[in-house]
A and B are shown apart, each in its own frame.
Chain A
Amino acid sequence: MAKKEGSVNRRGFLKGAAAGAAALVASAPAAIAQQDAAEARPAAVVPTSAQLAADVAAPPANTRIVENPGSDFMVDVIKALGIEYVAVMAGSSFEGLHESLINYGDNSKPEMLTTCHEESAVAMAHGYAKIEGKPMMALLHGTVGLQHASMAIYNAYADRVPIFMVIGNHADSAVRGAGVNWYHSAQDMCAMVRDFTKWDDNPASLQAFATNSMRAYKIAMTPPMGPVAVVCDSGLQEEPNRHKNLRIPKLAMSRPPSGDISAVREAAKMLVAADNPRINCGRAARTANGMSLVTELADVLKAPVNNGGERMHIPNRHPLAGNGTGQPDLILNLEVQGAPPPPNVKSISITALDLFMKSNIQDFQPYAPVDLSIAADAEATLPLLIEECKKLINADRRRFLEDRASKIAEANQRARNQAKEDARFGWDSSPVSLSRLAAELWPLIKNEDWSLVGWQGFIGGWPDKLWNFDKHYQYIGGQGAGGIGYNAPASVGAALANKKYGRFSVNIQTDGDLNFAPGVLWTAAHHKIPMLIVMHNNRAYHAEVMFVQRMANQRNRGIERAHIGTTLREPNIDYAKMAQTYGLYGEGPITDPKDLAAAYKRGIERVKKGEPALIDVVTQPR
């Protein structure tokens, strides 16, 4: 007999009835095991194998129907945040919320994305946020799931990227079932990731879940942005919501902090007076507008812009994109972390990181003794800085600046042309050179609304040298904290965000990174996320080959063994088959560069049909 709790609504009642019916047809042995577990629970000291198997066995037969469970309200809260997707690696500590999301919430806004690893779930959210400019949700199992997720959380933290994480827990030890639920519970769940989570909370009531979810989202989105976590207790999820007057407070977002006016004026004075200033960018352009602002500042000052490797700040063939000429006399660092200026060079720093920092993990980089430090968000400060600079530039100065601009443009153009011409070296090499790998792609994608969703650090930056990057979403940088295993899942998350805009996502994927958690390929196939994945398959953790070589040589022991522990050979990994196994179009390995274009074309055809496709290219190490 089903016992009803909480208020009844028709939809919930029908659902409850269905669950009850399902329980009746549970197979006999499973039912007995469940009964064992249920009976043993209160008094057990040593968990039985049945209890330990609670996560793998079928759940106990339902003897009650819960109407209006607390997790339905949690879904209302999550919907109020406007979250589009929730990446999940299933776990019983959030089974209540899981069920509410797919049934009560209709699996829509947020839609659930099935992942194969918590690191993938969080890294997908990382990539998504860099394209979409707002968080998606990652739903993680208590303790074990959170530990799996931790490196990806750290990468997002160091990359100043917002993620909204919800983590399951069985908080009340008095009612917690013995066995696996204890392993997956914690007194202070987020302690294990607090060093690299911007803010976390352990709400003790549904009202607190609502209020603190709003707070968490707001904190995540206030520069410097970062991942936040809200723990959701299984009791709160599963018990009926008996509260009459729960409120979902309005989401009250903060305006990002802009620099103090007197400091900005001082910066403008220094910049306009400098003979050869340079603008260095870290993670300054949070949005497309940020990119326009950096470009405008460069145009006003006629100063070269080092785009940095983390976001798009200026179109890469803008005349001022590059390092310009000679030694700068003043460097303006925009959201650059810890860049001590070279001797005799003055520097100005604008970064929101001066407003928020934690002490344990050393992601803050070396101390930079700058001449003027403005604790503010660079993007928010740029409009004021541009105005102040414009005010100070008179006709005389403008002539000087114009002259400087043409010299810079010439030097930058020369450097860009040289880089392109250098692509011919190794053009016909087998394995394939990275320049050719990137060059052959360009004619095939340049007329698409493309977006490079993978990192360029280990592919020699060749796309940047050969392709025309004009838009903010065309490049989103890398890991954040150098945690390998980021690229494959983050690129899938970014491609997911690109999907609704009809963009063509492309990822050049290193082999070592993919092998951390290749199951994300399946996630891409399952959720029909269109993207072209081109393997830079150098059959190694090549960065590490070189590190071990260095050590062996420093010790004068020869380097014949540097491949041990650093290469991915014997047997070679077949990525085309791997892709096929996970349900993607897969082709390769390609070793002859002459075969590239045709293979790319076949892959692109699939991507245009709305699927992911992978082309495996065996490459030169770098």
Chain B
Amino acid sequence: MKRGSKRTFLLVAVTLVALIVPIVAASAQRGAAPAGNPNPPTSPVTGNAANGKALYFANTCYGCHGYNGETGRAFVGNWSANLATEENFIRFLRGRANVAPVQPSTSMPNFPENSVSDKQAKDIYAYIRTFKSNAPELKDIPTLNQIIKGASRPYKP
């Protein structure tokens, strides 16, 4: 199973420097993500979400996007155009290797067809689309509100 393609990307840029980064910059992952659509896409889904779940795990998608797409480099609640349709998603997975191999347009790894087939990609897409935001509204999280209130009291040395 030999596969070859030359490309570089910055998947783990945050991690690479994690050992030396200042606290303040240590985990701006969500903040660093480009602003997307807060609402999930509504385009048709044809894949099998159950298969997709296994693939999401096997391809370690969770490694960057968390087990629900809400942590790390999150996409739930911040849906990019790359996730708007099945076609966009597949094009996105193939994009960097086949279209612009040396200049990755994102830091995400490339998934060529010999790694994830169209059918598998559709399954993964179907699974991703089942993700619901687990994030309650800020007003509904007393702990966070207390934290924000406590931190906004004027600082006294």
Contacts and interface: CB of A to CB of B under 8 A. Distances in A.
B59 A559 contact: yes
A242 B4 CA distance: 74
A549 B60 contact: yes
Contacts of B28: 419
Contacts of A224: none
Given A545-B60, A558-B115, A620-B66, A439 B147 contact: yes
Interface residues of B, number: 66
A280 B20 CA distance: 13
Contacts of A421: 138, 144, 148
Interface residues of A, number: 75
Contact of A479 (B19, B23, B152): B19
Contacts of A422: 30-31
Contacts of A434: 71
A542 B63 CA distance: 7
Contacts of A546: 11-12, 15, 63-64
A307 B23 CA distance: 7
Interface stretch (A176-184, A372-380, A461-469): A461-469
Given A457-B19, A542-B63, A556-B110, A424 B141 contact: yes
Nearest to B11: A550
A547 B63 contact: no
A456 interface: yes
Contacts of B141: 424, 427
Interface string B17-32: 0111111111111110
Interface in B87-119: 97, 109-112, 114-116
Contacts of B34: none
A319 B151 CA distance: 11
A425 interface: yes
B74 to A, nearest CB: 6
Given A425-B30, A426-B68, A427-B134, A562 B144 contact: no
B97 to A, nearest CB: 6
Contacts of A543: 12, 15, 18
Contacts of A12: none
25 contacts: A306-B24, A317-B155, A417-B152, A419-B28, A422-B30, A425-B70, A426-B66, A426-B74, A427-B135, A428-B136, A433-B71, A434-B71, A457-B18, A461-B25, A464-B23, A478-B19, A546-B11, A546-B12, A550-B109, A553-B110, A554-B8, A556-B3, A559-B60, A560-B59, A562-B63
